[in-house]
């Protein structure tokens, strides 16, 4: 597909300051077995192009699913027209200056292709997991699903081209328990989006989690409610990634800081003058942008504005260093950023995104962190998330929690929640888990932008301990 479109696009290039084309070809399959019944197989396929035109201080784009010569020409004309209409009154945008002259490429490191197992084999696997989930009459709903997507992305300008191929997989299972008075749910996998193929199921231990998930859903029905008050909080990686995402990732997005998002997803408590000296967290807090971590879901070589991605610190030893902004936002803000200008598909323009945002491991063992806690709560698997439009006042809840008393994990609790303020919460980071507690995770649907876009982002984190956090359960 891409071989023929490059010369076609270049033959149609209008006389403008800059013009690029991004072609996205996407295909995939959703498989779900719920209550032992195979739900309709969902296949999806998409191909389309996104043209960007910059001319005389104007900006225009046109996206089309008609990639014929006439379709592409019509889209180019519309993009040029929008650039004319906005001429002299647009924010500046980057023009992909940094792309090497020879063609560039990237490919997910997939060891076991999705197609290496038949649909029937994959469904049998999910049926088997369904059996592991249905362990008691109080389990009133259960399911296991696999979502797979592959994307070929071609970015082409008059002189340059970048080809990237991504394989993305998300496994998901869950069990719902009810005792006639209340309902509790445990799930696994929604934070396990990864780049790769079926080998990721083994890496994440997907199948083995089924029985434990159902057992915990049942146990939660009889568990006491999370106590209220101030306590130490030990967050496991699958909740840490939500904490990182909402109260570090989003506030550092440069388009929020520049105000582009303030009509929708919101702004940020971070201001441009904070970079280089603002104490974001305790000395233990080290956050990197790293699109090179193997299997982390938002890995790539180039973002959609043609910038090469590389590992950089956003926060080092607790001090804020760098924003999450692509070339266009960097140009407007006069601040260094990262290669994080991404679009979710061909039908949306690129905007500042998180990609892979990771909390670097520390030196504390899991047992050591537990042993250091006199009165605390361990929380796992996000259930509820809410934060203000400047990404400061947050309240998060988890599916399950455990009390920690006098250095020991004592018992399961239900409805665990905590709240805080981003600007001070990270300063209460008391211990960071070592690499043994570190997990590479990711989510498939981070939403922002106008028009709206949901995209996959990766997060990796060890377990982390925070001191004196406001925790609470459900008052009933």
Partner 1 sequence: MTGLKDYFFSLFERLAEDLQSSEDLLGNFLGERSDFVRFNAGRVRQAGEVQQYELALNLVSDQRSARTMTHVSGVIEADWEHCRRLLTALRAQIGSIPEDSHLLINREVQNSDSIGGIDLEPAEHAIEGILKDTSRFDSAGFYASGPIYRGFANSFGQRNWYVRASFNLEWSCFLENHKAVKSRYAGFRWEPREFEKRTRRIEQTLAFLRRPVQAIPPGRYRVFLAPAAVAELMATLSWLAFGAKNQRTRQSSLARLALGLETLNPAVSVIENNQAGLAPGFTRTGFIKPARIDLIRQGKHAGMLVNSRSAREYGLAVNADSEFPGSLEMGTGTLDDGDILKSLNHGLYIDNLWYTNYSDPNQCRITGMTRYACFQVEHGQITAPITPMRFDESLYRMLGSNLIAITRDREWILSGDTYLRRSVSSMRLPGLLIDDFNLTL
- Among positions 110-139, residues that touch partner 1 (CB under 8 A) are 118-120, 123
Question: Is residue 419 a contact residue for partner 1 (CB under 8 A)?
Answer: yes
Question: 258 vs 460, which CB is nearer to partner 1?
Answer: 258
Angstrom distance (rounded) from CA 75 to CA 415: 51
Question: Is residue 455 a contact residue for partner 1 (CB under 8 A)?
Answer: no
Q: Which two tokens stand for residue 173?
A: 């299972």
Question: Is residue 71 a contact residue for partner 1 (CB under 8 A)?
Answer: yes
Angstrom distance (rounded) from CA 24 to CA 32: 26
Question: 178 vs 372, which CB is nearer to partner 1?
Answer: 178
The one among 132, 232, 253, 260 contacting partner 1 by CB under 8 A = 260
Helix (H, G, I), strand (E, B) or coil at 279: strand
Question: 93 vs 195, which CB is nearer to partner 1?
Answer: 93
Q: Which of residues 31-50 bind partner 1 (CB under 8 A)?
A: 37-48
Question: 79 vs 319, which CB is nearer to partner 1?
Answer: 79
The one among 17, 113, 182, 367 contacting partner 1 by CB under 8 A = 182
Contact 119, 41 (CB under 8 A): yes
Angstrom distance (rounded) from CA 350 to CA 305: 7
Omega prior to 241 cis, within 30 of 0: no
Angstrom distance (rounded) from CA 301 to CA 304: 10
Count of residues touching partner 1 (by CB under 8 A): 79
Question: 255 vs 360, which CB is nearer to partner 1?
Answer: 255
Angstrom distance (rounded) from CA 413 to CA 227: 9
Question: Is residue 302 a contact residue for partner 1 (CB under 8 A)?
Answer: no
Question: 44 vs 107, which CB is nearer to partner 1?
Answer: 44
Question: 275 vs 472, which CB is nearer to partner 1?
Answer: 472
What would the x/- binding string for partner 1 be over residues 15 to 34, using CB under 8 A? --------------------
Quote the least distance from Cβ 333 to partner 1, whole Å.
12
Please name the residues in contact with 428: beta carbons below 8 A apart, sequence gap of 6 or more.
282, 420, 466, 467, 468, 469
Question: 66 vs 202, which CB is nearer to partner 1?
Answer: 66
Phi/psi at 142 (nearest 5 deg)? -160, 155
Q: Which two tokens stand for residue 141?
A: 């709903």
Which among 8, 18, 5 has a CA at the least distance from the CA of 47? 5
Q: Which of residues 266-295 bind partner 1 (CB under 8 A)?
A: 266-267
Omega prior to 451 cis, within 30 of 0: yes
The one among 228, 435, 451, 468 contacting partner 1 by CB under 8 A = 451
Q: Which of residues 48-67 bind partner 1 (CB under 8 A)?
A: 48, 58-67
Quote the least distance from Cβ 275 to partner 1, whole Å.
19
Question: Is residue 79 a contact residue for partner 1 (CB under 8 A)?
Answer: yes
Helix (H, G, I), strand (E, B) or coil at 328: helix
Q: Which of residues 344-403 bind partner 1 (CB under 8 A)?
A: 347-349, 383-390, 393, 395, 397
Q: 10 Å Cβ neighbour count for 250? A: 24
Contact 306, 52 (CB under 8 A): no
Quote the least distance from Cβ 142 to partner 1, whole Å.
10
Question: 4 vs 263, which CB is nearer to partner 1?
Answer: 263
Question: Is residue 78 a contact residue for partner 1 (CB under 8 A)?
Answer: yes
- The residue range among 11-19, 176-184, 191-199, 229-237 that interacts with partner 1, by the rule CB under 8 A, is 176-184
Angstrom distance (rounded) from CA 87 to CA 282: 46
Question: 64 vs 238, which CB is nearer to partner 1?
Answer: 64
Quote the least distance from Cβ 450 to partner 1, whole Å.
4
Question: Is residue 422 a contact residue for partner 1 (CB under 8 A)?
Answer: no
Question: Is residue 143 a contact residue for partner 1 (CB under 8 A)?
Answer: no
Quote the least distance from Cβ 432 to partner 1, whole Å.
26
Question: Which residues pair with residue 319 across a beta bridge?
Answer: 279, 316
Sign of CA dihedral 252, 256, 257, 263: negative
Quote the least distance from Cβ 61 to partner 1, whole Å.
3
Angstrom distance (rounded) from CA 36 to CA 39: 9
Distance in angstroms between the alpha carbons of the first and the last residue of the chain: 58
Question: 164 vs 184, which CB is nearer to partner 1?
Answer: 184
Helix (H, G, I), strand (E, B) or coil at 443: strand
Q: What residue has token string 């479109």?
A: 5
Question: Is residue 4 a contact residue for partner 1 (CB under 8 A)?
Answer: no
Q: Which of residues 184-243 bind partner 1 (CB under 8 A)?
A: 185
Quote the least distance from Cβ 122 to partner 1, whole Å.
10
Question: Is residue 428 a contact residue for partner 1 (CB under 8 A)?
Answer: no
Q: Which two tokens stand for residue 214?
A: 């159902």
Phi/psi at 424 (nearest 5 deg)? -115, -25
Q: Which two tokens stand for residue 7?
A: 């010369």
Contact 130, 144 (CB under 8 A): yes
Contact 374, 387 (CB under 8 A): no
Question: Is residue 453 a contact residue for partner 1 (CB under 8 A)?
Answer: yes
Quote the least distance from Cβ 53 to partner 1, whole Å.
9
Question: Is residue 416 a contact residue for partner 1 (CB under 8 A)?
Answer: no
Q: What residue has token string 């797979």?
A: 148
Question: 10 vs 419, which CB is nearer to partner 1?
Answer: 419
């Amino acid at each position: 597909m891409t071989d023929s479109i490059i010369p076609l696009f270049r033959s149609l290039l209008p006389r403008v300051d800059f013009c690029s084309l991004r072609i996205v070809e996407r295909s995939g399959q959703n498989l779900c077995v719920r209550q032992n019944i195979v739900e309709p197989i969902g296949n999806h396929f998409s191909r389309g192009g996104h043209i960007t035109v910059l001319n005389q201080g104007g900006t225009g784009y046109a996206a089309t699913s008609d990639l014929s010569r006439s379709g592409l020409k019509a889209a180019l004309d519309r993009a040029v027209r929008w650039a004319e209409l906005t001429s002299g009154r647009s924010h500046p945008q980057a023009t992909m200056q940094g792309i090497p002259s020879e063609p560039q490429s990237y490919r997910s490191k997939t060891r076991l292709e999705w197609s290496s197992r038949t649909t029937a084999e994959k469904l049998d696997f999910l049926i088997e997991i369904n059996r592991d989930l249905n362990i008691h009459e109080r389990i009133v709903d259960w399911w296991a699903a696999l979502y797979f997507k592959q994307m070929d992305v071609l970015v082409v300008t008059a002189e340059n081209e970048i080809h990237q191929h991504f394989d993305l997989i998300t496994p998901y299972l869950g069990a719902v328990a009810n005792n006639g008075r209340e309902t509790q749910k445990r799930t696994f996998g929604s934070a396990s989006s990864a780049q790769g193929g079926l080998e990721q199921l083994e890496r994440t231990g997907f199948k083995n989690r089924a029985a434990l998930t159902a057992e915990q859903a049942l146990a939660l029905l009889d568990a006491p409610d999370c106590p209220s008050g101030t306590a130490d909080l030990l967050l496991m990686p699958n909740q840490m990634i939500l904490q990182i995402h909402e109260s570090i990732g989003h506030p550092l997005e440069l388009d929020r800081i520049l105000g582009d998002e303030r009509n929708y997803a919101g702004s940020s408590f971070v201001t441009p003058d904070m970079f280089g000296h603002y104490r974001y967290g305790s000395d233990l807090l080290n956050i990197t942008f790293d699109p090179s971590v193997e299997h982390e879901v938002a890995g790539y070589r180039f973002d959609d504005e043609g910038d090469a991605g590389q590992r950089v610190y956003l926060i080092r030893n607790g001090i804020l260093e760098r924003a999450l902004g692509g070339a266009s936002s960097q140009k407007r803000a006069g601040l260094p950023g990262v290669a994080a200008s991404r679009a979710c598909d061909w039908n949306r323009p690129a905007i500042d995104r998180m990609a892979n945002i990771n909390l670097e491991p520390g030196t504390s063992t899991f047992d050591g962190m537990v042993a250091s806690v006199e009165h605390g709560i361990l929380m796992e698997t996000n259930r509820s998330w809410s934060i203000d439009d400047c990404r400061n006042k947050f309240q998060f809840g988890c599916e399950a929690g455990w009390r920690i008393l006098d250095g020991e994990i004592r018992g399961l609790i239900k409805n665990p929640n905590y709240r805080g303020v981003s600007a001070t919460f990270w300063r209460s980071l008391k211990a960071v888990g070592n690499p043994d507690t570190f997990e590479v995770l990711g989510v498939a649907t981070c939403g922002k932008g106008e028009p709206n876009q949901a995209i996959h982002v990766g997060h990796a984190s060890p377990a982390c301990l925070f001191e004196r956090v406001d925790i609470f359960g459900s008052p009933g």
